[in-house]
Amino acid sequence: MPPDTVGVLVAGVGGQGVILASAIVADAARRSGRDVKQSEVHGMAQRGGVVTSHLRFGETVRSPLIELGGADVVLACEWNEAIRAAAYLRPGGTLITSALRIVPPRALADRRTGRVDYPDLFEHLDGLDLRACDAEAIARRAGHPKAGNTVLVGVLAGLVRFADDAWRAAIAANVPPKALDANLRAFDAGRALRFARPARGSRRRAAPAPVAAPPAPRIVIDAAWCKGADCSLCVRACPERCLGFDGGTAVVATRPDACTGCRLCEIFCPDFAIVIRSVAA
C-alpha cells in the first residue's frame, strides 16, 4: 500500500453509529485536502450484528478496503468488536476503543452455569498501543449520552492531525444541529484524554478463579400421578423443551441433559407428578 495512505477501521455493533463516526472522519479528511474512500456494508449486518466501516485517506486512494494487517488505527465502539477488529491493525498500530460491553444473546452460553463467552480485552491484547476509555460516561458528562463515538473521534484526532476547523466542520455537517454543542464538547473531551503506553504484559491479569459447577438437576416423574398429554402444562412451560410424551401416557424427560433446574415444571404441575432434584457434581 502507498505509505502515505492512512487506514482507519471503525468497528462496532449495528445501531451504534459506526457509519456516522466513520463519515465524520472521512469528511474531516476531505476538508483537509486528502483523497478519501470509505466503505461499509448495509442491510442485514446492521440488525444487531457486527458493523465495520473501512476508511482510507491520503494522496491517491484506490482500494476502499483496508487489507488485514494494514490498519493504522482501529476505532471500536464496543469491547468485543475491538478485539475482532484488532486483526486488521498493522504492527505498531493503535487500538482506540470504548469500554462499552454489548454482550450478544448468543454469548450467553450456558444457562445452568451462567457461562458467558465474551472475552476480556486486557488479557488478550497486551503490548498494543491501546487507548481505551469509558466513552459513554465521558459523553454523558459532555451532555449527550449518545455522543460516545464522538469522544473516540476526539481520541483519534490526537493521532491524525487534521486542522481543528476541519474536525469541527465535519462534526457540524454530520450530527443533528441540536446535538452539535454536546458533540463538540465530547470531541474536545476525547482529544484531551491522555493514555499511558503500557509496557508489554503490564495489563495481564490473573485468570479468574474457577467457579464451582452448580449441582446438576435431575427430573423425577411419578408416572402414576401424571394426567398425560391432555394436560401438557409442564411440556409447554419448560424453557429448554426437556419434556415430552414420546407416545406414552405419562410425561418423560426427552432431553434430560438440557434441564437447567429452573423448576417451572414442578411449579406448574397441578398433580405434584414432577419434581427436580439436585445431584452434586
Shortest distance in whole angstroms from residue 35 CB to another protein: 6
Q: In the beta sheet, which residues pair with residue 58?
A: 35
Q: How many residues bind another protein (CB under 8 A)?
A: 77
Q: Contact with another protein (CB under 8 A): which of 59, 114, 220, 246?
A: 114
Q: Contact with another protein (CB under 8 A): which of 104, 143, 158, 244?
A: 104
Site for another protein in 20-49 (CB under 8 A): 23, 26-27, 30, 35-49
Residue 42 or 194: the one with the smaller Cβ distance to another protein is 42
Q: Contact with another protein (CB under 8 A): which of 157, 190, 260, 269?
A: 260
Site for another protein in 49-68 (CB under 8 A): 49-50, 61-68
Residue 46 or 254: the one with the smaller Cβ distance to another protein is 46
Site for another protein in 123-142 (CB under 8 A): 123-125, 127-128
Whole-angstrom distance, CA of residue 34 vs CA of residue 48: 32
197 to each of 76, 200, 205, how far by Cα in Å? Answer: 18, 9, 17
CA 51 to chain centre: 10
Part in contact with another protein (CB under 8 A); list of ranges 87-95, 154-162, 180-188, 245-253: 87-95
C-beta atoms surrounding 164 within 10 Å: 12
H or E stretch covering 171:
helix 164-174
Site for another protein in 188-217 (CB under 8 A): 213-215
Residue 53 or 150: the one with the smaller Cβ distance to another protein is 53
| Residues 178-196 as b or e (16 or more Cβ within 10 Å = b) | ebbebbbbbbbbbbebeee
Shortest distance in whole angstroms from residue 224 CB to another protein: 26
25 to each of 15, 154, 189, 210, 217, how far by Cα in Å? Answer: 18, 10, 17, 43, 54
3-state helix, strand, coil in the chain (%, to 5): 35, 25, 45
Part in contact with another protein (CB under 8 A); list of ranges 79-87, 147-155, 187-195, 219-227: 79-87
Residue 143 found at the interface with another protein (CB under 8 A): no
Q: What is the largest CA-CA distance in the chain?
A: 82
Residue 176 or 224: the one with the smaller Cβ distance to another protein is 176
